[in-house]
Chains A and B, each alone.
Chain A
Amino acid sequence: MAIIHDMMPAFELYQPSDLDGAVQLLDRHGDDAWALAGGLDTMDWFKDRVKRPKVVVDLNGIPELKGVREGADGGLEIGALTSLTDVVSSPQVREKFPMLAEAAATVATPQIRNQGTLGGNLCQDTRCWYYRGGWPCYRAGGNICYADTSSSMNREHCIFGASRCVAVSPSDTATALLALDASMVIAGPRGERVVPAEEFFLGPGIDITRMTVLQPNEVLVAVRIPATFAGARTYFEKARDRQSWDFALASVASAFRMNGDTIAEARIALGAVAPTPLRAKKAEAALRGQRISSQVADAAGNAAVEGARPLRHNGYKVPLMRNLVRRAVRGGPLAGEGQDAAAGG
């Protein structure tokens, strides 16, 4: 099990000033290298001495990784090293995709949002404490899931998509970006590739030791959000144990393109209930062509939790998720329905 130390093990620090230099460094050092963005996830790993890279490549000196830019199609491109605070306060983001600003604003605390980056929030590792404790679980390269035993504390773990590992994706912005049909721009030794958000995150059935498709020699450069849902009807809600500095127990992000009163296109993403941010495709199908009503919202909520398989301590996530999806369809809680009501049946 990990022991918190005062000092991190020594490593070589590189601070490239351009993207090519960063990619070359990562490529040269391979699995021995670690790409550093805001450092908030990184420092935990290093101080716990669970991750001990020989080389750290600090991406903060690369200007092209920062800032919010207009996209070619009228959408936005946000540099991966743009701070979460800058995402929250960006007029362009707030105008076109206010849901992303809302999601970013729910991350941790103001201090952490000042230091944390959009890319770091997307690429952070899972918070499963059995894994982060340094135990040899599947995700750490072993052959067991300590979070899925008869005596495990698995209240925060997944109800969908378990494949040996039951950890969840902890990113709030990932849920919003999946609903907005964003794509990730990745730079590597062989050039640039663009990966849809839905394919960017990897479940344990594909690779049990990684959360994203990023290879050790690749850098997440930017997030591209198409204009498809610019100005659309969106909703984001994050349910957590306390209202600040906490990870989601469940979250929902939705984007609807309306045709009058009718939903022409719906995208709903669920967070913290699966190893990846998850599209609720059955709920989306239940909404397409429908007028918004309580009945339609109920149908979408029920469809969203179809196939859920709770663990011993996280059965509450099923009604919680159902109610979050209902709220996403209705556009918020019913009159008199407080935040706590989402956890009801």
Chain B
Amino acid sequence: MELFQRASNPWGQEILTHIDWSLFWWALGVGVVFAAIHLFLRRRLRASEPAVVAGDHGGTVVRHTGAARMFHWVMALSMLVLLVTGFLPQVGVQFPWLTLHWVFGFLLIASILFHIVHATFFQSLRNIWISFGDLREWLQEVRHSMGRGPGPARKPGKYPVDHKLYHHAVTLSGFVAMITGVLMMFRIDSPIWPRDPYRFSDSTWGVIYVLHGLGGVVLVTLTFAHIYFAILPEKRWITWSMIHGKIPRKNYLAYHDPERWPSEEGPKEEAPAAAAQPAKAQGG
């Protein structure tokens, strides 16, 4: 299997041109295999999760503000349109994709700029930032789920480590795709700026196209995994929170450490004994 497509330019130099488009299928395949493995291990993974205590524990806790939810869904729409318009033409489904692709690319960039400002000034970056302590706890939790190690790790704050890892992977691949995508706007006619396809040499353009493609295929896998977790029955309370903004207080107490993530309303009662047990990290 080739990872990249190469060609000879008019000066006889071998240059990169694109990723090999079979990588799209590989990326989708990795997502499917990951989901299959997770489904296979799901019962065992759930066995180590804390039981959610039935009963009224004070209603709900705000998990996502309206602005955060709006950002998420705008970003989700943009990402899906970008992946569909980016890859379907390469696998044989032909339609006028280019204008849709760059328009939604700019919508994605605008939404991410909003997110950066919103997260920096109106939320706590510490919620999503990953630390060595997080990684140590994650390894401890993995060992625990395999029946090894000293015991379960401490419950996470707002986001478990796997959510943070996912966010960092999306951030990295998304920024690669976005930065290269903005540069690629110089290759086409658009109202943004005059076309200048000769801003870089053809070998540099080749690297830009390859990076854009790599960012895209990584996002295919990540998006697939994200949708998979979003529709799992045991994760739907998290998915619903991205629609109406709140999670049940009992889930808050069961899966999160109120000291690490004080809820907006604040805990209305002490966490019950069962919920005080360390929780299994959420999501993928």
Name A residues whose Cβ lies closer than 8 Å to a Cβ of B: 1, 135-136, 140-146, 148-150, 162-164, 202, 205-207, 213
Beta-carbon nearest neighbor of A215 in chain B? B92
Beta-carbon nearest neighbor of B6 in chain A? A136
A145 to B5, CA, bound (A): 17
Within 8 A of A (CB), among B1-28: 5, 7-10, 15, 17-18
- Distance in Å from the Cβ of A170 to the closest Cβ of chain B? 21
- Distance in Å from the Cβ of B257 to the closest Cβ of chain A? 49
Within 8 A of A (CB), among B93-112: 94-99
A207 / chain B contacts, CB cutoff of 8 Å: 89, 94
- Distance in Å from the Cβ of A285 to the closest Cβ of chain B? 22
Name B residues whose Cβ lies closer than 8 Å to a Cβ of A: 5, 7-10, 15, 17-18, 89, 94-99, 187-189, 197-198, 202, 205-206, 209
- Distance in Å from the Cβ of A178 to the closest Cβ of chain B? 19
Beta-carbon nearest neighbor of A140 in chain B? B7
Q: Are A143 and B209 in contact (CB under 8 A)?
A: yes
Contacts between the two chains (Cβ within 8 Å), count: 52
Interface of B is mostly: mixed
- Distance in Å from the Cβ of A167 to the closest Cβ of chain B? 15
B8 / chain A contacts, CB cutoff of 8 Å: 136
Beta-carbon nearest neighbor of B15 in chain A? A136
A140 to B10, CA, bound (A): 13
- Distance in Å from the Cβ of B198 to the closest Cβ of chain A? 6
Interface residue from B17, B96, B188 paired with A142 (Cβ < 8 Å) = B17
A205 to B100, CA, bound (A): 11
Q: Given A143-B18, A143-B202, A162-B189, 14 more contacts at CB 8 Å?
A: A136-B7, A136-B9, A136-B15, A141-B5, A141-B7, A141-B18, A142-B7, A144-B197, A149-B197, A164-B98, A202-B94, A205-B99, A206-B95, A206-B97
Beta-carbon nearest neighbor of B202 in chain A? A144
Instruction: Given A136-B15, A164-B187, A206-B94, decide whether A145 and B197 contact each other with a Cβ distance below 8 A.
Output: yes
A136 to B17, CA, bound (A): 8
Q: Tell which of A142, A145, A164 has the most Cβ of chain B within 10 Å.
A: A142
Q: Are A144 and B205 in contact (CB under 8 A)?
A: yes
- Distance in Å from the Cβ of B18 to the closest Cβ of chain A? 7
- Distance in Å from the Cβ of A151 to the closest Cβ of chain B? 10
- Distance in Å from the Cβ of A310 to the closest Cβ of chain B? 13
Beta-carbon nearest neighbor of B212 in chain A? A143
Instruction: Given A136-B9, A149-B197, decide whether A164 and B188 contact each other with a Cβ distance below 8 A.
Output: yes
- Distance in Å from the Cβ of A163 to the closest Cβ of chain B? 6
Q: Tell which of B5, B10, B209 has the most Cβ of chain A within 10 Å.
A: B10
Beta-carbon nearest neighbor of B16 in chain A? A143
Beta-carbon nearest neighbor of B17 in chain A? A142
Q: Are B9 and A135 in contact (CB under 8 A)?
A: yes
Q: Are A143 and B10 in contact (CB under 8 A)?
A: no
A140 / chain B contacts, CB cutoff of 8 Å: 7
Q: Are B198 and A206 in contact (CB under 8 A)?
A: no
- Distance in Å from the Cβ of B36 to the closest Cβ of chain A? 29
Beta-carbon nearest neighbor of A130 in chain B? B10
A143 to B5, CA, bound (A): 11
Q: Are A148 and B10 in contact (CB under 8 A)?
A: no
Sample (11) of A-B pairs whose CB atoms are under 8 Å apart: A136-B17, A140-B7, A141-B7, A141-B18, A143-B17, A143-B18, A163-B188, A164-B188, A205-B97, A205-B99, A206-B94
- Distance in Å from the Cβ of A51 to the closest Cβ of chain B? 15
B7 / chain A contacts, CB cutoff of 8 Å: 136, 140-142
- Distance in Å from the Cβ of B223 to the closest Cβ of chain A? 24
A136 / chain B contacts, CB cutoff of 8 Å: 7-9, 15, 17
- Distance in Å from the Cβ of B99 to the closest Cβ of chain A? 8
Interface residue from A1, A135, A149, A164 paired with B198 (Cβ < 8 Å) = A149
A145 to B205, CA, bound (A): 12
Interface residue from A1, A141, A213 paired with B17 (Cβ < 8 Å) = A141
B94 / chain A contacts, CB cutoff of 8 Å: 202, 206-207, 213
A149 to B98, CA, bound (A): 21
B18 / chain A contacts, CB cutoff of 8 Å: 141-143
- Distance in Å from the Cβ of A31 to the closest Cβ of chain B? 11
B96 / chain A contacts, CB cutoff of 8 Å: 205-206
Beta-carbon nearest neighbor of A135 in chain B? B10
- Distance in Å from the Cβ of A203 to the closest Cβ of chain B? 8
A33 to B94, CA, bound (A): 21
Q: Are A143 and B198 in contact (CB under 8 A)?
A: no
Q: Are B98 and A205 in contact (CB under 8 A)?
A: yes
B206 / chain A contacts, CB cutoff of 8 Å: 143
A150 / chain B contacts, CB cutoff of 8 Å: 198
A140 to B9, CA, bound (A): 12
A149 / chain B contacts, CB cutoff of 8 Å: 197-198
Q: Are A163 and B197 in contact (CB under 8 A)?
A: no
B10 / chain A contacts, CB cutoff of 8 Å: 1, 135, 146
A141 to B4, CA, bound (A): 12
A144 to B89, CA, bound (A): 18
Beta-carbon nearest neighbor of A163 in chain B? B98
A205 / chain B contacts, CB cutoff of 8 Å: 96-99
Q: Tell which of B7, B89, B98, B187 has the most Cβ of chain A within 10 Å.
A: B7
B97 / chain A contacts, CB cutoff of 8 Å: 205-206
A163 to B198, CA, bound (A): 16
